[in-house]
Structure 1
Amino acid sequence: MCKTVTKPGGCIEVAGRRNDYVGDGSIFRKLTDAIWSTYLIQNIDVKLAYNLDSKFELQPNVGEVHRIEKDFILGPMVVKLV
């Protein structure tokens, strides 16, 4: 069975977060290390968002895939950095 995800010329938006942080503290680093370890144990692909375009291109009915990446600053430091 084949399902159409978008109309011709349509797009899929994927929002994910990076696996690295700038200025992270020791407690936050320990927390994220524990989360990543859990993902590895459960065999969860933490880099899926980075490889998604190549996975789409492997499908026979998908045309050219365009990738656009944007970075956003989140958290209490936004006011100080902007």
Structure 2
Amino acid sequence: MLKADDLPIIRDFYNLTTNRLADICNLSQSYVAMIENGHRPITINVERRIIDQLGLNADIIDKIRKAAEEYEKLKRDINGI
């Protein structure tokens, strides 16, 4: 359900730093950063922690992804890219 690319988007949506997300999910900041940078996979256990602690579900994750895509599109349109 969650992909490494989702973590920074979800963090931005909830205005969380890697430190804060790590604290909320009882993970180390370096582990969260390694997941985001593609150096570690998101295990089922870690995925469950993130989903549970942030109150996420498939629908919410999908909406956050779509909102991020729309935001990036809007930035490109405004900047003429």
TM over 0.5: no
Which gives a bigger RCO, structure 1 or 2 (Cα 8 Å, sep 6+)?
A: 2
Larger Rg: 1
